[in-house]
Amino acid sequence: MTHRIVIVGGGAGGLELATRLGKSLGKRKQAEITLVDANLTHIWKPLLHEVAAGSLNSSEDELNYVAQAKWNHFNFQLGRMSGLDREGKQIQLAATLDEEGRELLPARTLGYDTLVIAVGSNTNDFGTLGAAQHCLFLDTRKQAERFHQQLLNHYLRAHAGDVASEKISVAIVGAGATGVELAAELHHAAHELAAYGLDRIQPKDMHITIIEAGPRVLPALPERISVPVHKTLEKLGVKVMTNAAVSEVTEDGLKTKDGEVIQASLKVWAAGIRAPGFLKDIDGLETNRINQLVVRPTLQTTRDDNIFAFGDCAACPQPGSDRNVPPRAQAAHQQASMLAQSLKARLENKALPTYEYKDYGSLVSLSRFSAVGNLMGNLMGSVKLEGWLARMFYVSLYRMHQMALYGFFRTALMMLGSKIGRGTEPRLKLH
Protein backbone atom coordinates (compact mmCIF):
# COMPACT_ATOMS: atom_id res chain seq x y z
CA MET A 1 0.00 0.00 0.00
CA THR A 2 1.32 3.46 -0.93
CA HIS A 3 2.44 5.52 2.05
CA ARG A 4 -0.08 8.30 2.78
CA ILE A 5 1.30 11.70 3.77
CA VAL A 6 -1.37 14.20 4.81
CA ILE A 7 -0.41 17.87 5.25
CA VAL A 8 -2.96 20.02 7.06
CA GLY A 9 -2.63 23.71 6.28
CA GLY A 10 -1.89 25.38 2.96
CA GLY A 11 0.03 28.37 4.24
CA ALA A 12 3.53 29.23 3.04
CA GLY A 13 5.14 26.25 4.78
CA GLY A 14 2.49 23.60 4.18
CA LEU A 15 2.00 24.51 0.52
CA GLU A 16 5.74 24.57 -0.14
CA LEU A 17 6.14 21.15 1.51
CA ALA A 18 3.27 19.64 -0.49
CA THR A 19 4.75 21.04 -3.71
CA ARG A 20 8.24 19.69 -2.95
CA LEU A 21 6.96 16.25 -1.96
CA GLY A 22 4.61 16.12 -4.93
CA LYS A 23 7.45 16.83 -7.35
CA SER A 24 9.55 14.04 -5.85
CA LEU A 25 7.64 11.30 -3.99
CA GLY A 26 4.27 11.99 -5.63
CA LYS A 27 5.60 12.12 -9.17
CA ARG A 28 7.47 8.83 -8.69
CA LYS A 29 4.46 7.18 -7.00
CA GLN A 30 6.51 6.57 -3.86
CA ALA A 31 3.90 8.22 -1.66
CA GLU A 32 0.41 9.69 -1.89
CA ILE A 33 0.54 13.35 -0.88
CA THR A 34 -2.64 15.14 0.23
CA LEU A 35 -2.90 18.78 1.21
CA VAL A 36 -5.90 19.87 3.31
CA ASP A 37 -7.01 23.49 3.65
CA ALA A 38 -10.24 25.29 4.49
CA ASN A 39 -9.88 27.61 1.49
CA LEU A 40 -9.54 27.06 -2.24
CA THR A 41 -6.82 29.66 -2.71
CA HIS A 42 -3.57 30.73 -1.07
CA ILE A 43 -2.07 34.17 -0.58
CA TRP A 44 1.22 34.83 1.19
CA LYS A 45 0.32 35.97 4.71
CA PRO A 46 2.98 38.73 4.95
CA LEU A 47 1.08 40.48 2.12
CA LEU A 48 -2.23 40.75 3.98
CA HIS A 49 -1.51 44.27 5.25
CA GLU A 50 -1.23 45.35 1.59
CA VAL A 51 -4.56 43.67 0.82
CA ALA A 52 -6.11 45.53 3.77
CA ALA A 53 -4.84 48.89 2.54
CA GLY A 54 -5.78 48.14 -1.08
CA SER A 55 -2.19 48.26 -2.36
CA LEU A 56 -2.48 44.65 -3.50
CA ASN A 57 -5.34 43.04 -5.42
CA SER A 58 -5.59 39.62 -3.78
CA SER A 59 -7.36 38.13 -6.80
CA GLU A 60 -4.26 38.70 -8.91
CA ASP A 61 -1.73 37.25 -6.44
CA GLU A 62 -3.71 34.24 -5.23
CA LEU A 63 -2.74 30.63 -5.94
CA ASN A 64 -5.39 28.00 -6.61
CA TYR A 65 -4.79 24.80 -4.61
CA VAL A 66 -6.60 22.55 -7.11
CA ALA A 67 -4.43 23.76 -10.00
CA GLN A 68 -1.23 23.64 -7.93
CA ALA A 69 -2.02 20.04 -6.95
CA LYS A 70 -2.54 19.01 -10.58
CA TRP A 71 0.69 20.64 -11.72
CA ASN A 72 2.77 19.17 -8.88
CA HIS A 73 1.44 15.60 -8.43
CA PHE A 74 -0.36 15.87 -5.08
CA ASN A 75 -4.01 15.77 -4.04
CA PHE A 76 -6.04 18.58 -2.52
CA GLN A 77 -8.93 18.23 -0.08
CA LEU A 78 -11.11 21.19 0.88
CA GLY A 79 -11.87 21.06 4.58
CA ARG A 80 -11.06 22.26 8.08
CA MET A 81 -9.47 19.82 10.54
CA SER A 82 -11.62 19.43 13.63
CA GLY A 83 -10.30 16.31 15.37
CA LEU A 84 -7.71 13.55 15.47
CA ASP A 85 -7.80 9.79 16.05
CA ARG A 86 -4.18 8.77 16.62
CA GLU A 87 -4.96 5.11 17.19
CA GLY A 88 -6.92 4.83 13.95
CA LYS A 89 -4.53 7.20 12.12
CA GLN A 90 -7.33 9.44 10.92
CA ILE A 91 -8.13 13.14 11.02
CA GLN A 92 -11.66 14.49 11.19
CA LEU A 93 -12.73 17.24 8.81
CA ALA A 94 -15.67 19.46 9.73
CA ALA A 95 -18.55 19.97 7.32
CA THR A 96 -17.95 22.76 4.81
CA LEU A 97 -20.79 25.25 4.36
CA ASP A 98 -21.46 27.62 1.48
CA GLU A 99 -22.10 31.36 1.89
CA GLU A 100 -25.78 30.71 2.61
CA GLY A 101 -25.06 28.17 5.34
CA ARG A 102 -25.93 25.10 3.28
CA GLU A 103 -23.72 22.04 3.50
CA LEU A 104 -21.27 21.94 0.62
CA LEU A 105 -19.17 19.02 1.85
CA PRO A 106 -20.14 16.66 4.70
CA ALA A 107 -18.05 15.99 7.78
CA ARG A 108 -15.64 13.15 6.98
CA THR A 109 -12.42 11.41 7.97
CA LEU A 110 -9.12 11.13 6.15
CA GLY A 111 -6.57 8.40 6.82
CA TYR A 112 -2.82 8.92 7.04
CA ASP A 113 0.44 7.11 7.67
CA THR A 114 2.37 10.31 8.27
CA LEU A 115 0.57 13.48 9.36
CA VAL A 116 2.08 16.97 9.10
CA ILE A 117 0.24 19.81 10.83
CA ALA A 118 1.02 23.31 9.51
CA VAL A 119 -2.11 25.30 10.33
CA GLY A 120 -0.27 28.51 11.23
CA SER A 121 -1.48 30.91 13.89
CA ASN A 122 -4.17 33.42 14.69
CA THR A 123 -3.90 36.81 16.36
CA ASN A 124 -3.99 36.61 20.15
CA ASP A 125 -6.19 39.28 21.73
CA PHE A 126 -5.27 37.96 25.22
CA GLY A 127 -8.92 38.01 26.23
CA THR A 128 -9.03 41.81 26.18
CA LEU A 129 -12.54 43.05 26.86
CA GLY A 130 -14.33 43.95 23.61
CA ALA A 131 -11.43 43.12 21.30
CA ALA A 132 -13.12 40.20 19.56
CA GLN A 133 -16.34 42.21 19.06
CA HIS A 134 -14.94 45.55 17.93
CA CYS A 135 -11.53 44.88 16.35
CA LEU A 136 -10.64 43.63 12.91
CA PHE A 137 -7.89 41.03 12.53
CA LEU A 138 -5.57 40.29 9.61
CA ASP A 139 -5.18 36.51 9.82
CA THR A 140 -6.92 35.66 6.55
CA ARG A 141 -7.57 37.11 3.15
CA LYS A 142 -11.27 37.57 3.97
CA GLN A 143 -10.42 39.58 7.07
CA ALA A 144 -8.00 41.79 5.14
CA GLU A 145 -10.57 42.37 2.40
CA ARG A 146 -13.19 43.20 5.03
CA PHE A 147 -10.92 45.88 6.48
CA HIS A 148 -10.27 47.31 3.01
CA GLN A 149 -13.98 47.48 2.27
CA GLN A 150 -14.70 49.28 5.54
CA LEU A 151 -11.90 51.74 4.82
CA LEU A 152 -13.22 52.35 1.31
CA ASN A 153 -16.77 52.78 2.64
CA HIS A 154 -15.60 55.68 4.81
CA TYR A 155 -14.20 57.43 1.75
CA LEU A 156 -17.26 56.74 -0.40
CA ARG A 157 -19.63 58.08 2.27
CA ALA A 158 -17.51 61.20 2.65
CA HIS A 159 -17.33 61.63 -1.13
CA ALA A 160 -21.13 61.52 -1.43
CA GLY A 161 -21.72 63.81 1.56
CA ASP A 162 -22.18 67.57 1.81
CA VAL A 163 -19.39 68.29 4.29
CA ALA A 164 -16.31 69.84 2.68
CA SER A 165 -13.86 67.82 4.74
CA GLU A 166 -14.17 64.61 6.74
CA LYS A 167 -11.83 62.74 9.08
CA ILE A 168 -11.07 59.09 9.66
CA SER A 169 -9.24 57.57 12.63
CA VAL A 170 -7.51 54.18 12.66
CA ALA A 171 -6.10 52.52 15.77
CA ILE A 172 -3.66 49.61 15.39
CA VAL A 173 -2.91 47.53 18.48
CA GLY A 174 0.58 46.08 18.26
CA ALA A 175 3.76 47.59 16.82
CA GLY A 176 5.19 44.41 15.38
CA ALA A 177 5.90 44.06 11.66
CA THR A 178 2.20 43.74 10.73
CA GLY A 179 1.11 46.83 12.67
CA VAL A 180 4.00 48.98 11.47
CA GLU A 181 3.67 47.95 7.82
CA LEU A 182 -0.11 48.43 7.88
CA ALA A 183 0.27 51.97 9.25
CA ALA A 184 2.66 52.92 6.44
CA GLU A 185 0.45 51.34 3.77
CA LEU A 186 -2.60 53.20 5.09
CA HIS A 187 -0.72 56.50 4.89
CA HIS A 188 0.17 55.68 1.29
CA ALA A 189 -3.47 54.67 0.58
CA ALA A 190 -4.69 58.03 1.91
CA HIS A 191 -2.58 59.86 -0.71
CA GLU A 192 -3.70 57.54 -3.51
CA LEU A 193 -7.40 57.78 -2.64
CA ALA A 194 -7.22 61.58 -2.61
CA ALA A 195 -5.40 61.52 -5.97
CA TYR A 196 -8.26 59.48 -7.47
CA GLY A 197 -10.76 62.13 -6.45
CA LEU A 198 -11.94 60.79 -3.10
CA ASP A 199 -10.55 63.93 -1.52
CA ARG A 200 -13.19 64.82 1.05
CA ILE A 201 -10.78 62.97 3.38
CA GLN A 202 -7.35 64.49 2.87
CA PRO A 203 -4.19 62.53 3.85
CA LYS A 204 -3.73 64.85 6.86
CA ASP A 205 -7.25 63.92 7.98
CA MET A 206 -6.46 60.21 8.29
CA HIS A 207 -5.33 59.87 11.88
CA ILE A 208 -3.39 56.65 12.48
CA THR A 209 -2.37 55.56 15.98
CA ILE A 210 -0.21 52.55 16.88
CA ILE A 211 -0.56 51.32 20.46
CA GLU A 212 2.24 49.08 21.76
CA ALA A 213 2.37 47.53 25.24
CA GLY A 214 6.16 47.27 25.12
CA PRO A 215 8.79 50.02 25.29
CA ARG A 216 9.41 50.30 21.52
CA VAL A 217 8.14 49.42 18.07
CA LEU A 218 9.30 46.15 16.47
CA PRO A 219 10.15 44.58 19.85
CA ALA A 220 11.35 41.35 18.22
CA LEU A 221 14.01 43.17 16.17
CA PRO A 222 17.20 44.97 17.26
CA GLU A 223 16.84 48.49 18.59
CA ARG A 224 19.00 49.85 15.77
CA ILE A 225 16.18 48.76 13.43
CA SER A 226 13.24 49.91 15.53
CA VAL A 227 14.54 53.43 16.19
CA PRO A 228 14.65 54.58 12.51
CA VAL A 229 11.28 52.90 11.89
CA HIS A 230 9.78 54.84 14.81
CA LYS A 231 11.18 58.11 13.41
CA THR A 232 9.87 57.37 9.91
CA LEU A 233 6.39 56.63 11.23
CA GLU A 234 6.32 59.92 13.10
CA LYS A 235 7.47 61.77 9.97
CA LEU A 236 4.49 60.24 8.17
CA GLY A 237 2.18 61.62 10.85
CA VAL A 238 1.52 58.29 12.57
CA LYS A 239 1.09 58.63 16.32
CA VAL A 240 3.08 55.95 18.13
CA MET A 241 2.20 55.09 21.73
CA THR A 242 4.58 52.77 23.59
CA ASN A 243 4.25 51.32 27.10
CA ALA A 244 0.49 51.54 26.53
CA ALA A 245 -1.38 48.29 27.19
CA VAL A 246 -4.98 48.18 25.93
CA SER A 247 -7.45 47.19 28.64
CA GLU A 248 -10.74 47.52 26.75
CA VAL A 249 -12.05 48.02 23.23
CA THR A 250 -15.37 49.76 22.65
CA GLU A 251 -17.38 50.60 19.58
CA ASP A 252 -15.91 54.10 19.55
CA GLY A 253 -12.30 53.43 20.48
CA LEU A 254 -9.79 51.94 22.89
CA LYS A 255 -8.93 52.37 26.55
CA THR A 256 -5.45 51.81 27.99
CA LYS A 257 -4.62 50.55 31.46
CA ASP A 258 -3.49 54.09 32.32
CA GLY A 259 -6.99 55.37 31.57
CA GLU A 260 -6.23 57.06 28.26
CA VAL A 261 -8.96 56.88 25.60
CA ILE A 262 -8.12 56.68 21.88
CA GLN A 263 -11.03 57.45 19.58
CA ALA A 264 -11.08 55.29 16.45
CA SER A 265 -13.63 54.39 13.80
CA LEU A 266 -11.48 51.51 12.53
CA LYS A 267 -9.65 49.28 15.01
CA VAL A 268 -7.13 46.56 14.12
CA TRP A 269 -5.64 44.08 16.56
CA ALA A 270 -2.17 43.00 15.41
CA ALA A 271 -0.49 41.99 18.69
CA GLY A 272 0.52 38.47 19.64
CA ILE A 273 -0.18 35.04 18.16
CA ARG A 274 -1.63 31.73 19.22
CA ALA A 275 -2.23 28.46 17.40
CA PRO A 276 -5.83 27.52 16.49
CA GLY A 277 -7.88 26.44 19.49
CA PHE A 278 -8.75 22.96 18.15
CA LEU A 279 -5.11 21.91 18.68
CA LYS A 280 -5.27 22.29 22.46
CA ASP A 281 -4.36 18.82 23.85
CA ILE A 282 -5.77 17.23 20.68
CA ASP A 283 -6.04 13.47 21.29
CA GLY A 284 -3.38 13.63 23.99
CA LEU A 285 -0.69 15.50 22.06
CA GLU A 286 1.41 17.91 24.11
CA THR A 287 0.59 21.58 23.63
CA ASN A 288 1.69 24.79 25.36
CA ARG A 289 -0.27 27.74 26.74
CA ILE A 290 -0.85 29.26 23.27
CA ASN A 291 -2.06 25.93 21.79
CA GLN A 292 1.16 25.19 19.89
CA LEU A 293 2.07 21.53 19.42
CA VAL A 294 5.31 20.81 21.26
CA VAL A 295 7.80 19.14 18.92
CA ARG A 296 11.30 17.70 19.11
CA PRO A 297 14.17 18.99 16.92
CA THR A 298 13.09 16.45 14.28
CA LEU A 299 9.74 18.33 14.20
CA GLN A 300 7.98 15.17 15.39
CA THR A 301 5.43 15.76 18.13
CA THR A 302 6.65 14.66 21.55
CA ARG A 303 4.02 11.92 21.96
CA ASP A 304 3.62 10.54 18.43
CA ASP A 305 6.43 9.86 15.96
CA ASN A 306 3.94 9.65 13.08
CA ILE A 307 2.80 13.25 13.54
CA PHE A 308 4.96 16.24 12.62
CA ALA A 309 4.20 19.93 13.14
CA PHE A 310 5.99 23.06 11.96
CA GLY A 311 5.58 26.77 11.42
CA ASP A 312 3.65 29.03 13.78
CA CYS A 313 1.55 26.17 15.19
CA ALA A 314 4.62 24.32 16.53
CA ALA A 315 6.74 25.02 19.60
CA CYS A 316 10.19 23.94 18.44
CA PRO A 317 13.14 24.36 20.82
CA GLN A 318 16.27 26.25 19.79
CA PRO A 319 19.47 24.36 20.75
CA GLY A 320 21.40 26.15 23.48
CA SER A 321 18.50 28.46 24.30
CA ASP A 322 15.44 28.43 26.51
CA ARG A 323 13.42 29.98 23.68
CA ASN A 324 11.49 28.38 20.85
CA VAL A 325 11.96 29.06 17.16
CA PRO A 326 10.31 32.44 16.41
CA PRO A 327 7.09 32.47 14.35
CA ARG A 328 8.56 33.86 11.14
CA ALA A 329 8.10 33.04 7.48
CA GLN A 330 11.79 32.21 7.11
CA ALA A 331 11.51 29.58 9.87
CA ALA A 332 8.55 27.91 8.12
CA HIS A 333 10.47 27.94 4.83
CA GLN A 334 13.53 26.35 6.45
CA GLN A 335 11.41 23.72 8.20
CA ALA A 336 9.52 22.86 5.01
CA SER A 337 12.82 22.34 3.20
CA MET A 338 14.09 20.06 5.95
CA LEU A 339 10.84 18.10 6.18
CA ALA A 340 10.91 17.40 2.46
CA GLN A 341 14.15 15.54 3.11
CA SER A 342 12.97 14.06 6.42
CA LEU A 343 9.90 12.39 4.98
CA LYS A 344 11.95 10.85 2.17
CA ALA A 345 14.38 9.52 4.79
CA ARG A 346 11.45 8.20 6.83
CA LEU A 347 10.21 6.12 3.90
CA GLU A 348 13.71 4.64 3.58
CA ASN A 349 13.93 3.93 7.35
CA LYS A 350 16.86 6.33 7.70
CA ALA A 351 17.63 8.62 10.65
CA LEU A 352 15.83 11.95 10.54
CA PRO A 353 17.74 15.25 10.46
CA THR A 354 17.23 17.78 13.25
CA TYR A 355 16.22 21.38 12.74
CA GLU A 356 18.32 24.33 13.85
CA TYR A 357 16.97 27.79 13.17
CA LYS A 358 19.18 30.08 11.09
CA ASP A 359 18.32 33.76 11.39
CA TYR A 360 19.04 35.49 8.09
CA GLY A 361 17.75 38.81 9.37
CA SER A 362 14.50 40.72 9.07
CA LEU A 363 13.12 43.35 6.72
CA VAL A 364 10.25 45.75 7.31
CA SER A 365 8.56 47.65 4.48
CA LEU A 366 7.15 51.12 5.06
CA SER A 367 5.25 51.15 1.77
CA ARG A 368 6.79 53.41 -0.88
CA PHE A 369 8.29 55.67 1.80
CA SER A 370 11.11 53.46 3.04
CA ALA A 371 12.23 50.01 4.12
CA VAL A 372 14.64 48.98 6.82
CA GLY A 373 16.14 45.76 8.12
CA ASN A 374 19.21 43.70 8.73
CA LEU A 375 20.71 40.79 6.86
CA MET A 376 22.75 38.18 8.70
CA GLY A 377 25.26 35.68 7.40
CA ASN A 378 28.43 33.81 8.32
CA LEU A 379 30.69 35.96 6.14
CA MET A 380 29.27 39.44 6.55
CA GLY A 381 27.82 39.26 10.06
CA SER A 382 24.89 41.60 10.55
CA VAL A 383 24.40 44.31 7.92
CA LYS A 384 21.83 47.06 8.31
CA LEU A 385 19.86 48.02 5.20
CA GLU A 386 17.69 51.05 4.56
CA GLY A 387 15.86 52.70 1.68
CA TRP A 388 15.76 51.40 -1.89
CA LEU A 389 18.16 48.48 -1.32
CA ALA A 390 16.18 47.25 1.69
CA ARG A 391 12.97 47.53 -0.36
CA MET A 392 14.48 45.39 -3.15
CA PHE A 393 15.50 42.70 -0.66
CA TYR A 394 12.01 42.83 0.88
CA VAL A 395 10.36 42.27 -2.52
CA SER A 396 12.80 39.44 -3.25
CA LEU A 397 11.45 37.48 -0.25
CA TYR A 398 8.08 37.16 -1.97
CA ARG A 399 9.73 36.27 -5.27
CA MET A 400 11.64 33.48 -3.50
CA HIS A 401 8.35 32.16 -2.14
CA GLN A 402 6.87 32.23 -5.65
CA MET A 403 9.87 30.41 -7.10
CA ALA A 404 9.50 27.66 -4.50
CA LEU A 405 5.93 27.14 -5.70
CA TYR A 406 6.05 27.95 -9.44
CA GLY A 407 9.67 27.57 -10.46
CA PHE A 408 11.94 30.23 -11.98
CA PHE A 409 10.39 30.46 -15.46
CA ARG A 410 6.77 30.90 -14.39
CA THR A 411 7.77 33.36 -11.66
CA ALA A 412 9.65 35.43 -14.25
CA LEU A 413 6.55 35.47 -16.46
CA MET A 414 4.40 36.56 -13.52
CA MET A 415 6.83 39.39 -12.74
CA LEU A 416 6.73 40.51 -16.37
CA GLY A 417 2.93 40.35 -16.46
CA SER A 418 2.71 42.36 -13.24
CA LYS A 419 4.98 45.05 -14.66
CA ILE A 420 3.00 45.29 -17.91
CA GLY A 421 -0.36 45.37 -16.09
CA ARG A 422 0.75 48.13 -13.73
CA GLY A 423 0.20 50.78 -16.39
CA THR A 424 -3.37 49.69 -17.18
CA GLU A 425 -4.78 49.44 -13.65
CA PRO A 426 -5.27 51.88 -10.77
CA ARG A 427 -2.47 51.87 -8.21
CA LEU A 428 -4.98 51.14 -5.47
CA LYS A 429 -7.88 48.71 -5.36
CA LEU A 430 -10.99 50.94 -5.51
CA HIS A 431 -13.72 48.35 -5.03
- Do 262 and 306 fall into the same domain? no
- Do 113 and 82 fall into the same domain? yes
Question: Mean pLDDT over residues 17-31, rounded?
Answer: 96
CB 349 within 8 A of CB 206: no
H-helix segments, 161-237: 177-195, 223-235
Q: Which residues contact 288 (CB under 8 A, 6 or more apart)?
A: 294, 315
- Do 254 and 302 fall into the same domain? no
- Do 156 and 253 fall into the same domain? yes
| Summary mean pLDDT of the chain | 90
Q: Taking each helix axis from N to C terminus, what angle separates 387-406 and 408-421, rounded to the nearest 10 degrees?
A: 130
Residue 146's Cα: distance from chain center in Å? 16
How far apart, in whole angstroms, are the C-alpha atoms of residue 269 and residue 264?
Answer: 12
- Do 297 and 241 fall into the same domain? no
55 within domain boundaries: yes
50 within domain boundaries: yes
Q: Which amino acid is at 337?
A: S
- Do 150 and 254 fall into the same domain? yes
How far apart, in whole angstroms, are the C-alpha atoms of residue 3 and residue 120?
Answer: 25
- pLDDT recorded at residue 378: 47
The model's confidence at residue 388, banded by pLDDT at 50, 70 and 90, is low
Instruction: Tell me the pTM.
Output: 0.91
Number of domains in the chain: 3
- Do 197 and 212 fall into the same domain? yes
Q: Which of 277, 302, 16, 269 is nearest to 121 (CA)?
A: 277
- Walk across the sheet containing 239-241 and list its strands: 239-241, 206-211, 168-173, 266-269
Domain residue limits at 222: 131-269
Q: Which residues contact 135 (CB under 8 A, 6 or more apart)?
A: 125, 173, 249, 267, 268, 269
- Do 256 and 284 fall into the same domain? no
Q: Which of 85, 118, 139, 150 is nearest to 271 (CA)?
A: 139
429 within domain boundaries: no
Segment 218-254, tens digit of pLDDT: 998 888 889 889 999 999 999 999 999 999 999 999 9
Q: SS3 of 176, please?
A: coil
- pLDDT recorded at residue 380: 47
Q: Which of 202-206, 298-302, 305-309 has the lowest mean pLDDT?
A: 202-206
Q: Which of 324, 347, 370 is the last residue of a domain?
A: 347
* CATH number, residue 199: 3.50.50.60
430 within domain boundaries: no
- Do 285 and 237 fall into the same domain? no
356 within domain boundaries: no
51 within domain boundaries: yes
Q: Which of 59-68, 112-121, 171-180, 414-423 has the lowest mean pLDDT?
A: 414-423
327 within domain boundaries: yes
- Do 11 and 84 fall into the same domain? yes
- Do 264 and 288 fall into the same domain? no
126 within domain boundaries: no
Q: Which of 211, 242, 269 is the last residue of a domain?
A: 269
- pLDDT recorded at residue 379: 45
- Do 183 and 199 fall into the same domain? yes
* Residue 310 predicted with pLDDT over 80: yes
Q: Which of 320, 347, 374 is the last residue of a domain?
A: 347
